[in-house]
Amino acid sequence: LAALRLEDLRIPPAYTKTFQGPPHGIQVERDKLNKYGRPLLGCTIKPKLGLSAKNYGRAVYECLRGGLDFTKDDENVNSQPF
């Protein structure tokens, strides 16, 4: 498989009704971050792509200094040998 493009997706209404949505809206997040009038920007930095703990910390720091509003820890950030 060299390429793939999703052209259509149908999700049954009975399935979508099982998702209740977030516990609170975007306004709560904006209030916590004191950020208004622009999109909020977040990302997940992947330490498993070869970053040491020091370089992972530096990447997070540089992203936040550059205007990123929040980051999400990768699920497996723990003393991995690779």
What is d(CA 36, CA 1) in angstroms, rounded to the nearest whole number? 43
pLDDT single digits (tens) 34-82 = 999 999 999 888 776 777 888 888 988 999 999 999 888 776 655 556 5
37 within some domain: yes
8 within some domain: no
45 within some domain: yes
The two three-digit tokens of residue 65, written as one number: 């200094």
What is the total count of domains within the chain? 1
80 within some domain: no
49 within some domain: yes
Question: What DSSP state is assigned to residue 62?
Answer: H
7 within some domain: no
Quote the domain boundaries for residue 32.
Answer: 13-72
6 within some domain: no
What is d(CA 56, CA 67) in angstroms, rounded to the nearest whole number? 17
- Residue 19 — very low, low, confident or very high, per pLDDT cuts 50/70/90? confident
50 within some domain: yes
Evaluate if residue 21 carries a pLDDT over 90.
no
The pLDDT value given to residue 82 = 55
